[in-house]
Amino acid sequence: MDKGWCLTLENSDPVGFFTSKSDFGFDLSSRLYDKEGTATMFLTGREEQYASSPADERRVVLGEVDFFSDKNRPVKDMSVKKEDLHTARESDVNTGLQLVINTGSDQSTVDDGISSDVEDKRAKNELAKLKVELEGMNAENQRLRGMLSQVSSNYTALQMRLVGLMQQQKNSTAHDSTQEHEKQENGGATVPRQFLDLGLASEIDDPSNSSSEEKTTSGSPHKKIGRAESPESDSCGPNKIPKLNPSNPVDQSTEATMKKARVSVRARSEAPMISDGCQWRKYGQKMAKGNPCPRAYYRCTMAVGCPVRKQVQRCAEDRTILTTTYEGTHNHPLPPAAMALASTTSAAASMLLSGSMPSPDGLINPNFLARTLLPYSSNMATISASAPFPTVTLDLTHSPNPLQCQRVPPTQYQVPFLVHPQNFASVTNPQMPQVFGQALVNQSKFSGLQSSQNNIEQIQPPLHHQSFTNTLSAATAAITADPNFSAALAAAITSIMGGSRPDSGNATNNTTNVNTSTSNKSSSFMGN
């Protein structure tokens, strides 16, 4: 085994050695050894036939020779050729194995002969290789199918659960007469309990009213949020949102919001930009306050006059996190890769718009809506009604942590303002205030960051279901776009599907000032 005879897998290091050699450099009774000296293959029988291959290599075909792998499995379709080096090659151990023996000398005088047989075997080998390749691809395909199936089944389960909870909510509403005190009439709709908790019921009930909390927050946001503390939130005061004149049609507000609505995507990426399938031209770069990383401004160049712009900035605390903020509507068709992200951001923007609509002044608690629409995915989406541009942030940087979901104390379900499953069901109740449905219809007019020719129609209730569906489908599509982004997005999806966790965050803040509590988080694209 130290005679310089070795067996190598194709394109790899030697994996075995011969103990001796005979006429053609090895003894057919020899054993093959791996590098550790462990016998891995046995050669038995004897050669009966010779054949020469094309001029540059000499091939010996061994007939009726049994080769056994270490599992005592016969290896068929063996052929052996002599070459100049002291190596042996084995390609495809599992199927049509070809053992290539190199004698290290040119003394071989093999007869010319059945070259067609050699060609056949070569073709067989080629076929075998292709088969292996195909099997590998099939395996990959199966794995991806499995993942998709898992996501799909999880979604179905969640949907079923939602239906059950809705039914439960409906029943409890019908039988609990005490809830009559909590009912607010709005076109015959039932105002969910959390609306009252959030002080929003009055807004829904009476457009002329706004909650005292909202007034306080809107009136002097900067007294609570210092500039240096949160640069983005500096301009994020809810009072800066284009307010809807109560006398104006709702659509006008929507149009105004559409123009300035932004979607921010946070994802881990070492690249300067996440690949979103579009072509961009950089037109500016600025140092943003509170962040040593410069903010780059890009304009879509896929079509002349496309108004879509995006800002790219690294997170100050974690520079592996890249925040990309999109604004505007593409005026051209998008390639599939771009559609993926565009759909994601569009769905997110739709959530944002739906969240900006219910209040007569165009305001509704953004945090509340984020939790309403994606109650189990607070890690993923944050909606900010921050001015000057309402922004929804898709945070794709969090890893799923199923255990965390189970650790949440049950008591947290009792915390007011949290949208626990029951409330979640209630806000998605078909009887929910019409304004939600209106928002949903309106949002279909918002092409967001998606091609105007490829808008996702989101006019079918229930609201959360549709947005969630779009987000899910878009996210699934986005997986194909970019490896880094895909990984982050996949993690985000998993956090949705696997995390049947009612949001436990910001409970305290929510009781006082949700906008404040979300300001830092929602300002993700600016200097956090």
Partner DNA sequence: CGCTTTTGACCGGCGC
Partner DNA sequence: GCGCCGGTCAAAAGCG
Site for DNA (CB under 7 A): which residue of 73, 143, 215, 222? 222
- Residue 41's DSSP bridge partners are 32, 69
Torsion of CA 357, 360, 361, 365, to 10 degrees: -60
State which residue, 256 or 507, has the beta carbon closest to DNA.
256
Report d(CA 219, CA 209) in Å as an integer: 15
Q: Which positions from 383 through 442 interact with DNA, judged by CB under 7 A?
A: 388-389
Strand blocks (E) in 258-308: 262-268, 280-287, 294-300
Q: Which among 328, 222, 231 has a CA at the least distance from the CA of 523?
A: 231
Q: How many residues are listed for the chain in this entry?
A: 528
Among 76, 227, 407, 445, binds DNA (CB under 7 A): 227
**Residue with Cβ nearer DNA (394 or 425):** 394
Distance of closest approach, residue 356 Cβ to DNA, in angstroms: 17
Dihedral sign of CA atoms 450, 456, 459, 463 in order: negative
Q: Applying CB under 7 A, does 290 fall inside the site for DNA?
A: yes
Minimum distance of DNA from residue 228's CB (angstroms): 7
Choosing from 282, 319, 407, 445, the residue that interacts with DNA (CB under 7 A) is: 282
Q: Which stretch binds DNA (CB under 7 A): 27-35, 140-148, 289-297, 410-418?
A: 289-297
Q: Mask of contacts with DNA, 17-56, x by CB under 7 A?
A: ----------------------------------------
Q: Which residues pair with 284 in a beta bridge?
A: 297
Nearer to DNA, 266 or 371 (CB): 266
The residue among 412, 384, 416 whose CA lies nearest residue 518 is: 384
# chain residues binding DNA, by CB under 7 A: 28
The distance from CA 473 to its chain's CA centroid, rounded to whole angstroms, is 10
Which of 149, 179, 285, 453 forms a contact with DNA (CB under 7 A)?
285
CA–CA gap between residue 265 and residue 399 (Å, rounded):
15
Residue 466 and residue 440: Cα distance in Å, rounded? 9
State the nearest-atom distance from the C-beta of 226 to DNA, in Å.
9
Q: What angle do CA 18, 20, 26 make, to 5 degrees?
A: 75
Instruction: Output the smallest distance, CB 449 to DNA, in A.
Output: 14
List the one residue from 289, 319, 407, 445 that touches DNA (CB under 7 A).
289
d(CA 370, CA 322): 21
Nearest CB to DNA, comparing residues 145 and 282: 282
Query: From the CB of 274, what's the least distance to DNA, in Å?
Result: 14
- C-alpha–C-alpha distance, residues 58 and 250, integer Å: 84
Q: Is the dihedral of CA 234, 310, 263, 364 positive or negative?
A: positive
- Amino acid 272 reads P
Q: Who's near 375: CB < 8 A, 6+ residues apart?
A: 419, 420, 421, 424, 502, 503
The least distance separating DNA from the CB of residue 209, rounded to whole angstroms, comes to 24
215 in contact with DNA (CB under 7 A): no
Residue with Cβ nearer DNA (83 or 327): 327
Site string for DNA, 349-388 (x = CB under 7 A): ---------------------------------------x
Contact status, residue 301 vs residue 280, Cβ threshold 8 Å: yes
| CA atoms of 386 and 231, how far apart (whole Å) | 12
Q: Evaluate the omega torsion of the peptide bond into residue 207 and state whether it is cis, within 30 degrees of 0.
A: no
Minimal distance, residue 451 CB to DNA, in Å:
19
Task: Check residue 445 for interaction with DNA (CB under 7 A).
Answer: no
Binding mask 310-329 for DNA (x = CB under 7 A): -x------------------
By CB under 7 A, which span of 107-115, 244-252, 284-292, 368-376 interacts with DNA? 284-292
Smallest separation, CB 327 to DNA (Å)? 7
Angle between helices 463-478 and 483-498 (to 10 degrees): 150
Q: Which is nearer to DNA, 246 or 284 (CB)?
A: 284
And the tokens for 311?
A: 């800002």
The distance of closest approach from Cβ of residue 225 to DNA in the complex, given in angstroms and rounded to an integer, is: 11
The Cα–Cα gap between 349 and 364 comes to 15
The footprint of DNA on residues 80-99 (CB under 7 A) is none
Residue 284, interface with DNA (CB under 7 A)?
Answer: yes
Positions in the binding site for DNA (CB under 7 A): 222, 227, 231-232, 235, 237, 240, 279-286, 288-290, 295-297, 301, 309, 311, 388-389, 526-527
